[in-house]
């Protein structure tokens, strides 16, 4: 089976809205009493209930309630939300092409998408959108949804925006022709040292393989021999994309994942001859936010001893959803199978105690100490499996890393959480950029120059603390003293993101990233790396 055929099949499994089901998989409904009962109930409510009802709304509630009885990931998407729900995975939408943030009831342009409609007409980072098609675009009633409703639209349609720009007199008017806007799934890629590349993927979208290959090619041209592949916080996406990216690391014929359910016969997905990084040391970073497709990649690498997995136990989402379109255009994403790693481990964590308890898992892990200490995690012997080299790994929910790195509770403490939650970081950086953008562009034209030379002054940091105080954040000296350097680094990274691009944020922060530094430590010691990983030789 060639790779194009396999991509089609896996896309059908998770990514299409076809109702075509192989006849051998269709099980006739034998319990006609059940269907008659539901039909009769809706007939009686519609024809005899005392008040006039919205039967469409009642049907939707019935669908949602029914799906909740099944598992935590089967879900219902109303017709009006279908297109929006699929944008992150489809890889594009139609609009004006800019990232924005609501700042003091005003639409602040963070950056235009390079080459997009807004970029082409000259809209710049730091611009404030004051009018849209002659309508005021500021004030309490202007929300993120308002912006989306007014700036997104069909390709080829036009929208007139009035821009306030520092140094310009009056409003600048721009007529923007909407176009298809790509949604990149890659946050960053760059070299960590002379031989080690870094790639951070935020989801497994339809275009992720192309992005990944472009990044690998560029990093190889810069001397990459080792790769740190960051899947922390990556909640998943298309099975087909997880398969093809895993294929980049594994030699032909090796199992990547298999799926199986009562009505879905086992389907094995194996690596092909294609692959841009089948040789070279590999580190995969995961944490409690890594789910689904991320766990497929991490599980396959671990079972084949292809690389070293570093971080914390992944989320444990191993259920396969297939979208089915209902007659009114709405969609049900129904769980049809489970994911299994090559060694036979089920990725899915238990959900016997209900959906609400299922989604409290992060809090429970924190409470039980798992996020801090690997010793607090207990695995029964019944869930014991072996990797290709005979190392012991466990099933039962998520991928347990080879090297555990506890959650950094000193830096990511309550003070830092409050600064994020109350918008102090972004609010301060927006004001700072409003005042200093021209100075920064003139004096820090390149990212490396900014990283090496820019530092926040003490007066500027005092202004940041004053802003935090205005937001009624309780600043304890002990927490602040522990976090001063880290808070300054966060501010610097956000300024870099605003001044350059999203990847700049990660390039500023990585020297203080414990997981990345552990990865570099492992890569430098062949004996340590070989304890976990194995280079594939053709």
Active site residues: 292, 303, 317
Burial readout 203-239 (b: 16 or more C-beta within 10 A, e: otherwise)? bbbbbbbebbbebbeebeeeebebbbbbbbbbbbbbb
Q: Distance (Å, rounded) from C-alpha 475 to C-alpha 468?
A: 8
Alpha carbon distance 314, 292 (integer Å): 9
**Measuring CA to CA, which residue among 534, 313, 508 is closest to residue 405?**
313
Tell me the C-alpha distance between 138 and 44, whole Å.
Answer: 49
Number of neighbouring beta carbons within 10 Å of residue 357: 13
Q: In angstroms, rounded to a whole number, what is the distance separating the alpha carbons of residues 297 and 158?
A: 42
Looking at the DSSP bridge assignments, the partners of residue 198 are 190, 228
Give me the DSSP letters along 412-424.
SSHHHHHHHHTTH
Q: What angle do CA 214, 218, 221 make, to 5 degrees?
A: 145
C-alpha–C-alpha distance, residues 282 and 231, integer Å: 13
| Cα–Cα distance, 186 to 294 (Å, whole number) | 13
- Nearest in space to 187 (alpha carbons), one of 455, 510, 520: 510
């Amino acid at each position: 089976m060639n790779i194009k055929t396999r991509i089609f099949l896996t896309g059908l499994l998770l990514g299409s809205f076809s109702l075509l089901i192989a006849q051998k998989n269709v099980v006739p409904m034998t319990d006609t009493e059940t269907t008659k009962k539901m039909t009769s109930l809706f007939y009686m409510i519609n024809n005899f209930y005392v008040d006039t009802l919205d039967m469409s709304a009642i049907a939707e509630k019935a669908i949602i309630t029914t799906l909740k009885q099944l598992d935590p990931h089967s879900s219902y998407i109303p017709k009006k939300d279908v297109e929006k729900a699929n944008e992150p995975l489809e890889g594009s939408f139609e609009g004006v092409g800019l990232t924005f943030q609501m700042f003091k009831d005003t639409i602040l342009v963070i950056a235009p998408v390079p080459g997009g409609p807004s970029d082409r007409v000259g809209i710049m980072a730091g611009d404030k959108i004051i009018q849209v098609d002659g309508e005021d675009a500021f004030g309490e009633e202007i929300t993120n949804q308002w912006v989306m409703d007014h700036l997104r639209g069909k390709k080829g349609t036009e929208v007139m925006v009035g821009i306030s720009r520092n140094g310009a007199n009056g409003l600048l008017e721009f007529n923007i022709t909407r176009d298809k806007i790509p949604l990149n799934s890659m946050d960053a890629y760059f070299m960590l040292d002379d031989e080690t590349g870094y790639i951070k993927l935020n989801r497994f979208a339809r275009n992720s393989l192309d992005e990944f290959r472009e990044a690998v090619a560029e990093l190889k041209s810069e001397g990459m021999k080792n790769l740190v592949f960051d899947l922390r916080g990556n909640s998943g996406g298309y099975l087909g994309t997880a398969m093809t990216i895993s294929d980049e690391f594994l030699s032909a014929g090796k199992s990547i994942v298999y799926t199986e359910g009562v009505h879905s016969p086992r389907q094995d997905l194996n690596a092909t001859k294609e692959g841009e990084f089948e040789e070279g040391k590999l580190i995969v970073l995961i944490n409690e936010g890594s789910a689904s497709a991320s766990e497929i990649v991490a599980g396959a690498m671990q079972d084949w001893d292809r690389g070293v997995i570093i971080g914390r136990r992944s989320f444990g989402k191993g259920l396969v959803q297939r979208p089915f379109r209902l007659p009114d255009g709405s969609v049900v994403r129904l769980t049809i199978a489970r994911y299994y790693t090559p060694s036979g481990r089920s990725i899915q964590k238990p959900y016997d105690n209900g959906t609400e308890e299922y989604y409290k898992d992060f809090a429970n892990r924190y409470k039980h100490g798992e996020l801090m200490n690997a010793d607090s995690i207990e695995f029964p012997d019944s869930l014991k499996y072996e990797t290709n080299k005979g190392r012991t790994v466990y099933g039962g929910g998520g991928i347990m890393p080879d090297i555990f790195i506890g959650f950094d509770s000193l830096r990511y403490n309550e003070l830092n959480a409050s600064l994020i939650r109350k918008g102090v970081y972004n609010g301060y950086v927006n004001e700072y950029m409003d005042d200093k953008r021209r100075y920064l562009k003139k004096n820090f034209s390149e990212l490396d120059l900014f990283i090496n030379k820019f530092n926040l002054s003490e007066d500027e940091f005092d202004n940041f603390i004053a802003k935090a105080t205005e937001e009624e954040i309780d600043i304890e000296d002990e927490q602040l003293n522990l976090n001063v350097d880290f808070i300054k680094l966060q501010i610097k990274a956000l300024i870099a993101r605003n001044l350059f691009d999203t990847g700049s944020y990660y390039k500023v922060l990585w020297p203080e990233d414990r997981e990345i530094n552990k990865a570099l430590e492992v890569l430098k010691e062949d004996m340590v790396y070989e304890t976990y990983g194995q280079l594939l030789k053709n």
